[in-house]
């Protein structure tokens, strides 16, 4: 999905490319091992290349920490996959797999993303902001794993974030597996 945000007062256009789940585990991880990280988004690179900001949901634990979640589906990706994420500006970790390797794994993923120049949107509910062409663009992640309603504080979270930016993008991860 591509969206252009026009700041009339500034006379600039900022293009935001947003994708859904980006998963680097399982068969995707095996493909990265065989063909290298560049193979992962080869088909999407041209669509994302012209955007000023690229946003997605990182649907796996990207860490060297051990998987610790006790559930049917655990998505644990090798940190080598980080190289496949080149070009992303913001990646949401507000999802049901961010903690598949526990708090240690989440903290490791946050460090790795920041080290690669990608702003991680963390489960704590705080917005991440990027500045492009004089615009403050904030991202907020919300999660609803019941598929029936968002957390009760979602309106306050969004309202607070909206006051501190020019453009607000809200990503919602929902549903049951």
CA-based Rg of the chain, rounded to a whole angstrom? 16
To the nearest 10°, the Cα dihedral for 118, 127, 64, 82? -20
Q: What is the pLDDT of residues 115-131, one digit of tens each?
A: 999 999 998 778 999 99
* pTM of the model as a whole: 0.89
Question: What is the mean pLDDT of the segment spanning 154-167?
Answer: 92
The mean predicted confidence, pLDDT, of the chain is 88
Local confidence band at 152 (pLDDT 50, 70, 90 cut-offs): confident
Which range is least confidently modeled, 37-51, 89-103, 128-142? 37-51
Q: What is the pLDDT of residue 154?
A: 86
């Amino acid at each position: 999905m591509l969206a252009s945000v026009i700041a009339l007062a500034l006379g600039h256009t900022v293009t935001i490319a947003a994708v859904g789940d980006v998963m680097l585990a399982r068969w995707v991880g095996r493909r990265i091992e065989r063909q290298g990280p560049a193979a992962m988004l080869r088909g999407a690179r041209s669509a994302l290349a012209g955007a000023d900001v690229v946003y997605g949901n990182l649907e796996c634990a990207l860490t060297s920490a051990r998987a610790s979640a006790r559930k049917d589906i655990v998505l644990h990706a090798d940190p080598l996959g980080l190289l496949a994420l080149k070009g992303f500006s913001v990646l949401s970790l507000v999802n049901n797999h961010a903690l598949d390797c526990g708090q240690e794994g989440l903290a490791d993923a946050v460090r790795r993303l920041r080290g690669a120049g990608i702003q991680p949107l963390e489960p704590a509910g705080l917005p991440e902001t990027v500045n492009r062409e004089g615009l403050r663009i904030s991202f907020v992640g919300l999660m609803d794993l019941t598929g029936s309603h968002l957390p009760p504080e979602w309106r306050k979270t969004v309202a607070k974030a909206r006051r501190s930016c020019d453009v607000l993008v809200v990503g919602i991860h929902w549903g049951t597996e």
